[in-house]
Amino acid sequence: MQQVTEVSSLAQWKAFVSTPKVTVLFFYAKNVSIASSDSGADWLGPANVLFTQLATLHPRLSFCKVDAEAVPALSTEFRLEVVPTFIISVSSNVVDRIEGMKVAEVAQAIDRASKRLADPTSAVLDDALRNRLLKLTTASPVMVFMKGSPNEPKCGFSRKTIGLLKDENIECGTFDILTDDTVRQGLKVFSNWPTFPQVYVNGAFVGGLDILTEMKEEGPLADQFGIQPLNDDDVEKALFASLTDLIKSAPVLLFMKGTPNEPKCGFSRKTVELLRGHHIAFSTFDILSDESVRQGLKKMSNWPTYPQLYVHGALAGGLDILTEMAV
């Protein structure tokens, strides 16, 4: 992990920028007498975590932080008014300045600076793909590029990432990278990050599961993202919308315990046998793999038990009704 340099004097800062480099400087204050951008918020812990994570994400840049009250000469040099303040400079020339705990703006500014220093020998995105990725990463305030979907994640990291966001009622858009290898490979270059899932907030790359987990330890993700979590009504609406898309994802869809080849209850096994016996093609969803789907579907369909069979998005019923229909 790249080190963040603690600047303790104006002379140290002058020496640090004496050689050409792009530097990100973070002004903080342990005992705030300088005006705070949010006097009621405990932002220092999350800001430190964010800064360290950004340093890891952008190894070509140099990252420094300074206690604004401990080095007043440097605060005066940069005409500091509030903390936190983030300053990006090329040598000693300021090219960007963000005042306040504005996570997305900070990440975007640092991302722009990093891309200016991109290795010319690295993979290059053509304009069409770059524009497509820009549209995808800004399709929702929070975008997750994952393996599978929120209802059917295809890897543990993706499942845990969605779980972290769900725990805080953070609504997110998603893109299944397994469906488009051009997007999958392009994002690795676009974000300079080789693994998935990848999370973007307001178009700025935040990180993957490990970084989100570290951020969570410092406080609510929604606060650090600078977004409002959904209230209970919004959560239910979002869940029902997701479930509606899910039940329409196949002409005949069976929500069961387990899979057709490994059913986890007798009712599910008998339902599978009934459908197969009538040569009906069907898809399945294992409700044991997603508790939110399991509970949400009960409420949305007003049907408390499983299995549940849907035909063209409409509930047909459970085993008892299917048995009656088959007579």
Share of the chain above pLDDT 90, in %: 31
> pLDDT at position 306, please?
95
Q: What is the pLDDT of residues 250-295, one digit of tens each?
A: 999 999 999 999 999 999 999 999 999 999 999 999 888 777 788 8
**Token output for 127:** 């304009």
Q: State how far Cα 214 lies from the chain centre.
A: 13
140 has a pLDDT exceeding 90: no
**Token output for 317:** 């019923």
* Average pLDDT along the chain: 84
Lowest mean pLDDT of 11-25, 57-71, 118-132, name the range.
118-132
Please tell me the distance from the alpha carbon of residue 218 to that of residue 50, in angstroms, as a whole number: 10
Q: What are phi and psi of 259, to 5 degrees?
A: -125, 165
Please tell me the distance from the alpha carbon of residue 126 to that of residue 230, in angstroms, as a whole number: 37
- Beta 62-67 vs 5-6: how paired, if at all? parallel
Which domains does the chain carry? 5-118 (3.40.30.10), 128-225 (3.40.30.10), 247-325 (3.40.30.10)
Give, to the nearest 10 degrees, the angle between helix 103-116 and helix 44-57: 20
> pLDDT at position 234, please?
65
**The 3-state secondary structure of the chain, one letter per residue:** CCCCEECCCHHHHHHHCCCCCEEEEEEECCCCCCEECCCCCCCHHHHHHHHHHHHHHCCCCEEEEEECCCCHHHHHHCCCCEECEEEEEECCEEEEEEECCCHHHHHHHHHHHHHHCCCCCCCCCCHHHHHHHHHHHCCCCEEEEECECCCCECCHHHHHHHHHHHHCCCCCEEEEHHHCHHHHHHHHHHHCCCCCCEEEECCEEEECHHHHHHHHHHCCHHHHHCCCCCCHHHHHHHHHHHHHHHHCCCCEEEEECECCCCECCHHHHHHHHHHHHCCCCCEEEEHHHCHHHHHHHHHHHCCCCCCEEEECCEEEECHHHHHHHHC
120 has a pLDDT exceeding 50: no
| Token pair 């992990």: residue | 1
235 has a pLDDT exceeding 70: no
Question: Is there a contact between 45 and 219 (Cβ–Cβ < 8 Å)?
Answer: yes
Q: Report the amino acid identity of residue 72.
A: P
- For the chain, the residue count is 327
Q: Which residues pair with 23 in a beta bridge?
A: 62, 89
> pLDDT at position 66, please?
93
Q: Report the amino acid identity of residue 259.
A: T
Burial grade of 304 (CB within 10 A; 0-12, 13-18, 19 or more): exposed
Question: What is the enclosing helix (H) or strand (E) of 316?
Answer: strand 314-317
> pLDDT at position 34, please?
45
Mean pLDDT computed over 189-214: 86
Please tell me the distance from the alpha carbon of residue 304 to that of residue 38, in angstroms, as a whole number: 47
